[in-house]
Amino acid sequence: MNPTGISDTPSIRKLLERIGMESREIEVYLALLPLISARASDIAKAAKQSRSHTYIILRSLRDKGLVSEVEKGKVIEFVAEPPNRLMAYLQDREEEMRRLQVLTERVLPQLENLTTTLDGQPRVTFLTGLEGMKRVYRDALAGEFVGIFNPEVMYNAYGENVFLGIFGPALEYHGKDLLVDNASGHKYLEEIPQDEDYTVRFLPKGTDFKSDTLVYGDTICLFAYDDERTIVRIENRNLANTFRAWHKMMWEMSS
């Protein structure tokens, strides 16, 4: 049996994925929703999963509070909890994340002591797409940054201000950006205005480029905006400090 309509809605699948459910869990959960109760074998058939995997997935969903078990004679059947249980599941995850954050903060000094200083050979890694951009900006916005930015290529690549799309209007900036002086640069500045923590200057008229550069900590990130939306991340303290010196010189030349 296939859930009518709901399992064919990509946006619902995407939402369930974002709240922490794996792809197989989503299939099993959506297959179970329209059923009053069902055996694992029947759910497996509806979800197009193997019986052994389905049983494991059902137990995982049970641990998340989204599925219950009922005993009918000597047979165990499964029941989907009401959909509003998803809200309680999100609250449980939020509480768990708060606890993990406290524990992580405690061990950070020990982990940082194990980290090699990035003064020697640069470490170069590659990230792609919105997920890569999200990771970079979460790291950058945790402290201060400097950047050289052409919002036009961002709007052309993604069709929107991805910072607002990823982080929302409450996003806090602590740094300095040099923007290309074009219509997109002024539009960006209207969407994310300056304050005492975030200041912007426009590069001299006629300056143009199709990539962006961001520096924070010991890291330089180059945004290529190619088909893969590639981000080249270079970790090296000396290179990062050199770029900051270049940025400072260009800042004084800009308005």
CATH code, domain carrying 24: 1.10.10.10
Q: Tell whether 68 and 157 lie within a shared domain.
A: no
Q: If 0-12 CB within 10 Å is exposed, 13-18 middle and 19+ buried, where does residue 149 land?
A: buried
Residue where a domain terminates, one of 57, 83, 109: 83
Handedness of CA 152, 153, 154, 159 (dihedral sign): positive
pLDDT of residue 126: 94
- Residue numbers of the domain that contains 157: 123-253
Q: Are 141 and 174 in contact (CB under 8 A)?
A: yes
Considering the entire predicted model, what is its pTM?
A: 0.58
Q: Tell whether 132 and 20 lie within a shared domain.
A: no
Percent of the chain scored above 70 by pLDDT?
92
4: pLDDT strictly greater than 60: no
Residue 107 lies in a domain: no
Q: pLDDT per residue over 167-224, tens digit each?
A: 766 677 899 999 999 999 999 989 887 888 999 999 999 999 999 999 999 999 999 9
Structure token pair of residue 232: 């080249």
Residue 96 lies in a domain: no
Tell me how many domains the chain contains.
2
Q: Tell whether 151 and 215 lie within a shared domain.
A: yes
Residue where a domain terminates, one of 33, 65, 83: 83
Which H helix or E strand runs over 134? Answer: helix 129-140
Alpha-carbon span 26 to 15, nearest angstrom: 10
Residue 109 lies in a domain: no
Q: Tell whether 233 and 130 lie within a shared domain.
A: yes
